[in-house]
Amino acid sequence: MKTKIVTTFLLTLLLGIAVKGQEKVTSPEFLKYTNSKWVDSVMKSLTPKERIGQLMFVAAYSNKGIEHEKEILETIQKWNIGGLVFFQGDPVTQVKQMNSYQKQAKTPLLGAIDAEWGLGMRLDSTISYPYQMALGAIQNNNLIYKMGTEVARQIKNTGLHLNFAPVADVNNNPDNPVINYRSFGEDKYKVAQKSIAYMQGMQNAGLLTTAKHFPGHGDTNTDSHYKLPQINHSLERLNNLELYPFKELINAGLNGVMVAHLNIPALDASEKPSTLSKAIVTDLLQNKLGFSGLIITDAMRMKGVTNNNKPGIVDKEAVQAGNDVLELTQNVAKAITEIENAVKNNSILQADIDNRVRKILAAKQWAGLHNYKPTPNKNLVHNLNNANAKLLKRQLVEASLTVLKNDDDVVPLQKLDTLNIMSISIGDSLTTKFQKTLGLYDNVKHFNIGNDINPATIDKLKKAINNHNLILLGIHDSSAFPKNKISFSNTLLKFIEGLPFNKTVVTYFKNPYSIAKIKNIEKAKSLILTYQDSKTTQDIAAQLIFGGASANGKLPVSIGSKFKAGAGLTTAKKIRFKYTLPEDAGLNSKTLNSGIDSLIQQAISNKAIPGAQVLIAKNGKVVLHKAYGTHTYSDTTKVKLSNLYDIASVTKISSALPALMHLQDANKFSTEKTIDDYLPYFKGSNKAGIPFREILTHQAGFSPWIPYWQNTLRKNGSYKWHTIKRDSSARFPIKITSNMWLNRNYKKKVFKAIKKSPVSDVKKYKYSGLVFYLLPTIVEEITSTNFVDYINANFYDKLGATTLTYNPEQKFSHSKIIPTENDFLFRHSTIHGTVHDEGAAMMGGISANAGLFSNANDLAKLMQMYLDMGTYGNEEFISKNTLKQYTSVQFPDNNNHRGIGFDKPYLIYKGENSNTAKDASKESFGHTGFTGTMVWMDPKENVLFVFLSNRVTPTRENRTLYKLNTRTKIQQVIYDAIK
């Protein structure tokens, strides 16, 4: 007895200062209903036994079938329990069950769930937000508040009213087996701030909350689910640290506290769990800290409280201690009987029971249960997973990313043309989402190793490591939750520890505490923490490395002696594409996705195209990147995002044109000069003296095209002996097909045909591709460099556009390349892996008129560089002034709408006969291609549109794509989605 008196005295003394600070305690809002008419009427309707029943909350599952439902219904009807705590299952079944349970309940049920990181913690088909440790790294607490409002919306939409969150424990024990990653961290101030943000977000959105695990479960190495942990800290330490977040939450209007099963001698000298301790629940929480809201026990089936305590009796003791709600009572009948007997012998006062029931009913009224209506479940899964909810998850993940090291500012990666990159994913034997996203930015050689690494694999990896100058290492977590442990074999661990960290960027997808168990990892060139392993964290971490995302997270816990809490570097802002959701760029995802999907499906159904790739970006954010259909109509091979299409005339603005702009910036080319200035061969011709400004805007009067291939044929359809042979040789080295080889001098014949072609005296818009056959040679004459080498070195390699290439079959298998036409006139075969345009084919596949292949993603990088007025990846390719010149209308007075090389909107919109959507701005520019391709950029809205297809399959006579006007209709959908 003396020990208890001393403890109480010291507790009062030490908390005295804190109590003075409690004068501004904000009472929970729901308490205003404690004596409302509805609460009064319900109280009058309840028998003493039914009032006790209101204190009981039992476990409910939506995946245990009909027998479990019957058991719950029987409990509700027999004991008039106060509420249900839902666990595993699915949202639709949960709503149906809760509606059914409410219908049978005499008193409306309070529905609760333990959803610390959202419904995904318990229910399938729902969203899991980052664990609280990841949230602890976030610097903007408004994001955490926003998460609170969204979690509240989702929980309420599943028929529930109370979330057992936030976790307010200060985790300062790395070996804590039960809190750990569930805590905001080790800094009490930040734990308090973030707990309040999460709590207020939920409560302001109409959800009851419960901060836990009072009085602080952060410094234990025992899991209270299995054993009663003991905390042997002094009163002063407890008051200054463990209790601090709870005091701040109480001051901020917290409406619920969950009491943990802990043995804390400094607060109660008996060996009772804190849940059963009057000194802790009543004297400390209510009287000293002034908390007047709902007090809820931790689960009464946990061994931390059930060991050595009998069912029923333990519940009675929890009520005697001062708890309002008994969570997951093991035996409702025994609990009610014991409490009933305690009331009869005055060890529990009926007035206390009534006051607690009023408090519970007041919470129910605040939650709207006085006007209960069944919860609808129509479109529930879609509503729970709406675009804004998904976007919030991505925003939270990005904001949590923590860069602990970044020597020489290696992240984000720059100068891609100097890097030879390999990725190694540890702990996952299949190509990871992390690796797939890395591949969107550059050519990355991927390696995957599991825990069973063998010497042969190690040797292979060591050779690869020697051949690459940058390693992107992903260390993954195969466990369901990020525990503080390393389960790698000694062989694998030694392999990791022996890596050349001076050229390695490490992305750590595991619990940050476990970093302390890996030697040398702190020597990495860059070290990135994601706190957990998921497709979202992998995706965004990969984007961070290449500059599609940025990081400013701060480490919420210390990692041994390697890194202290608060560590974290800020990386450069976005410098390359960010792959994200439409809402992230201000577009409506439903309008965008459904509109484009339906138009593509219409085109495929009408056999306008067998398949397509579409990429849309706004503000440098890729908001749609999809592949549709199949390679051909007769093929079942689905189009993948990695497949290459023949981009046809889009080559015009993707090859020689950027080279000319680049050379103009270097004062080596001018649009005011003429063909014969750069190709003396044309001096004296009808094309001499015509400036490139006129030629590249199709203003020069050149002929549209020349069927060069027809000159190879005799009248009987066979090839002239000096033009094409069936086999290659020194004289016939130019491959057209595997059994068609062109004479090495035929290029001269093409140039001669262009030189001799007529030129109209009338200077007006007349589309011509002739000069584009000459441009590669002009670039070579100016630079003394092979044309392909020049554009690779100055553009494609730097952009990471690894599929943007000529003659793709030299680099890629045919399975990766989409076929085009079945050519029965010239090549007498299916065109697959080589350029569709006959003239370009006869130039060895290398022309500025056509010849380039690409997937949508790589082509988009070049186009985004244009849209960003010459810069991409923190590198300037072309000056802003030059790009503005080339993308501006040059001869509007002559009714010519073209820019220099670029197509532009018609000067007057012509409805469906226009070349762009009606909402495309006059500043926009782009190009289309004969194979059904289109790229278009609009600086006014900062929008990029890439459309790749093979509408010429199986024949170029198929013009249905034009009749349907699919491409410009898709373009209009983009503007509609912005509206």
Task: Give tens-digit pLDDT for 359-415.
Answer: 999 999 999 999 999 999 999 999 999 999 999 999 999 999 999 999 999 999 999
Q: What value does the mean pLDDT take over residues 816-826?
A: 94
pLDDT above 80: residue 351 = yes
In-domain check, residue 694: no
Same domain, 250 and 291: yes
Residues 371 and 420 in one domain: no
State how far the Cα of 266 lies from the Cα of 242, in Å rounded to an integer.
Answer: 13
* 370 and 431, same domain (yes or no): no
| Pair (353, 407) in one structural domain | no
- The residue-averaged pLDDT of 15-40 equals 78
Residues 250 and 312 in one domain: yes
**In Å, how far are 55, 282, 354, 464 from 459, measured between CA atoms?**
64, 65, 73, 9
Of the chain, the percentage scoring pLDDT greater than 70 comes to 98
Residues 370 and 414 reside in one and the same domain: no
Strands annotated E in 328-480: 402-406, 421-426, 444-449, 470-475
Per the domain annotation, does 474 fall within a domain? yes
Q: Distance (Å, rounded) from C-alpha 675 to C-alpha 687?
A: 7
The DSSP symbol for 325 reads B
**Could you read off the pLDDT of 88-101 as tens digits, one per residue?**
999 999 999 999 99
**Domain boundary residue, one of 332, 348, 383:** 383
Report the pLDDT averaged over residues 278-290. 97
Residues 420 and 378 in one domain: no
Q: What is the pLDDT of residue 21?
A: 44
Residue 863, pLDDT score: 98
Q: What is the mean pLDDT of residues 509-522?
A: 96
Last residue of a domain, one of 329, 353, 383: 383
Mean pLDDT in residue range 492-513: 96
Lowest-confidence range among 4-18, 56-70, 594-608, 897-911? 4-18
Secondary structure letter of residue 492 according to DSSP: H
How many other C-beta atoms are found inside a 10 Å radius of the C-beta of residue 385?
Answer: 17
Same domain, 345 and 406: no
Indicate whether 408 and 320 sit together in one domain.
no
Which three-class secondary structure state does DSSP give residue 528? strand
- Is the pLDDT reported for residue 840 higher than 90? yes
> Is residue 755's pLDDT more than 80?
yes
Instruction: Give long-range contacts, CB 8 A cutoff, 24+ apart: 606-609.
Output: 606/960, 606/964, 607/633, 607/958, 607/960, 608/951, 608/958, 608/960, 608/961, 608/963, 608/964, 608/966, 609/932, 609/949, 609/950, 609/951, 609/953, 609/961, 609/966
| pLDDT digits 0-9 by tens, 544-569 | 999 999 999 999 999 999 999 999 99
14 within domain boundaries: no
Sheet order of strands, 402-406 included = 402-406, 526-529, 504-508, 470-475, 421-426, 444-449
Number of domains observed in the structure of the chain? 2
**Whole-angstrom Cα distance, residue 933 to residue 648?**
7
Q: Are strands 444-449 and 421-426 parallel, antiparallel or unpaired?
A: parallel
Residue 489 domain flag: yes
**Residue 545, domain extent:** 401-577
pLDDT band at 11 (very low <50, low <70, confident <90, very high): low
The sign of the dihedral angle between the CA atoms of 692, 694, 710, 608 is positive
Among the three residues 539, 562, 577, which one is the final residue of a domain in this structure? 577
CA distances from 251 to 210, 248, 260, 544, 606 (A): 14, 5, 20, 38, 65
Chain segment 410-448, per-residue pLDDT in tens: 999 999 999 999 999 998 888 999 999 999 999 999 999
Identity of the residue numbered 276: L
- Residue range 596-612: average pLDDT? 98
> For position 12, what pLDDT does the model report?
54
- Alpha-carbon distance values, 117 to 151, 200, 328, 762 (Å): 8, 15, 21, 71
> Could you tell me which residue, 276 or 301, shows the higher pLDDT?
276
Q: What pLDDT score was predicted for residue 17? A: 41
Cβ neighbours of 641 (radius 10 Å): 15
CB-based contact 304:327 (threshold 8 Å)? no
**How many residues can be counted in the chain?**
979
d(CA 58, CA 21): 37
Q: How far apart are CA 640 and CA 628, in angstroms?
A: 8
> Average pLDDT for residues 110-118, to the nearest whole number?
98
Kind and range of the H or E run holding 687? none
Q: Taking 80 as the threshold, does the pLDDT of residue 573 lie above it?
A: yes
Question: Is the model more confident about 140 or about 308?
Answer: 140
Check residue 15 and give its pLDDT: 55
pLDDT tens per residue, range 149-169: 999 999 999 999 999 999 999
In this model, does residue 842 exceed pLDDT 80? Answer: yes
Domain shared by 199 and 317, yes or no: yes
pLDDT of the residue at 606: 98
Token code pair at residue 536: 């979202």
* 596 inside domain: no
pLDDT of residue 713: 80
Q: At a CB cut-off of 8 Å and minimum separation 6, what does 633 contact?
A: 607, 610, 953, 954
Give per-residue pLDDT as tens, 251-282.
999 999 999 999 999 999 988 899 999 999 99
* Domain presence at residue 512: yes
Are 334 and 405 found together in one domain? no
**Rounded Cα–Cα distance for residues 564 and 569 (Å):** 13
Q: How far apart are CA 827 and CA 823, in angstroms?
A: 6
CA distance 440 to 799: 11
What's the longest Cα–Cα distance across the chain? 120
Alpha carbons within 13 A on the beta-carbon side of 728: 7
User: DSSP labels for 61-86?
Assistant: -SSSHHHHHHHHHHHHHHH--SEEEE
Per-residue pLDDT at 720 = 85
CB 522 within 8 A of CB 562: yes
Q: What is the CATH number of the domain that holds 44?
A: 3.20.20.300
Where do we find the tokens 């087996």?
177
pLDDT digits (tens, 9 = 90+) for 42-98: 999 999 999 999 999 999 999 999 999 999 999 999 999 999 999 999 999 999 999
Query: Tokens 């009572």 sit at which residue?
Result: 329
Could you tell me if 428 and 459 lie in one domain? yes
DSSP string, 870-932: TEETTEESS-HHHHHHHTS-S-GGGT----SSSB---SS--GGGSSS-TT--TT-EEEEETTT
| Whole-number Å distance between alpha carbons of 698 and 903 | 10
Type of residue numbered 637: T
Strands 943-949, 933-938: parallel, antiparallel or unpaired by DSSP?
A: antiparallel
3-state secondary structure of 473: strand
* Edge-to-edge strand list for the sheet holding 925-929: 578-579, 621-629, 611-618, 943-949, 933-938, 925-929
Domain harbouring 444, CATH code: 3.40.50.1700
Q: What is the model's pLDDT at position 6? A: 45
pLDDT tens by residue, 699-734 = 999 999 888 878 888 877 788 888 999 999 999 999
CB atoms within 10 A of CB 207: 25
Does residue 564 belong to any structural domain of this protein? yes
- Provide the whole-model pTM: 0.95
969 located within any domain: no
